[in-house]
């Protein structure tokens, strides 16, 4: 193993998984595992049928992916609105500067 790569054990639904990652990625990996474990427990606890760990993992992955896509779309929409407002403000500043220049100020 490379010196920069370490092994990290994370737990998902009570099962330990040993994962290799860079040292600087450790905290993020652990946070991601906690988040996924939480989502997997939600799926398991809210399911009306007994699901296999594989089915729980797939459903959780779909839920997390859907949430991520929704967030990306919201960010894109917010970015579009912000760009439009910025362009409007810049146009107003340009207009004011043009008027001031024309008035000799």
pLDDT surpasses 60 at 1: no
Q: How many domains does the chain have?
A: 1
pLDDT given at position 72? 98
Classify residue 51: in a domain, yes or no: yes
Classify residue 87: in a domain, yes or no: no
Q: Crossing angle for the helix pair 53-102 and 26-46, nearest 10 degrees? A: 120
Band of pLDDT at residue 49, cut at 50, 70 and 90:
confident
Domain extent at residue 32:
5-76
CB 19 within 8 A of CB 7: yes
pLDDT tens per residue across span 13-30 = 999 999 999 999 999 999
E strand residue ranges, 36-88? none
pLDDT tens per residue across span 77-105 = 999 999 999 999 999 999 999 998 888 87
The C-alpha atoms of residue 9 and residue 11 are separated, in whole angstroms, by 7
């Amino acid at each position: 193993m490379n010196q920069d790569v370490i092994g990290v054990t994370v737990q998902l639904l009570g099962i330990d998984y040993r994962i290799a990652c860079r040292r600087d990625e450790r905290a993020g990996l652990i946070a991601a595992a906690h988040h996924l474990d939480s989502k997997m427990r939600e799926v398991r606890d809210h399911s009306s049928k007994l699901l296999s760990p594989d089915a729980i993992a797939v459903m959780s992955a779909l839920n997390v992916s859907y949430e991520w896509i929704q967030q990306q779309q919201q960010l894109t929409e917010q970015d579009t609105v912000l760009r439009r407002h910025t362009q409007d403000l810049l146009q107003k500043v340009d207009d004011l500067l043009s008027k001031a220049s024309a008035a000799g100020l």
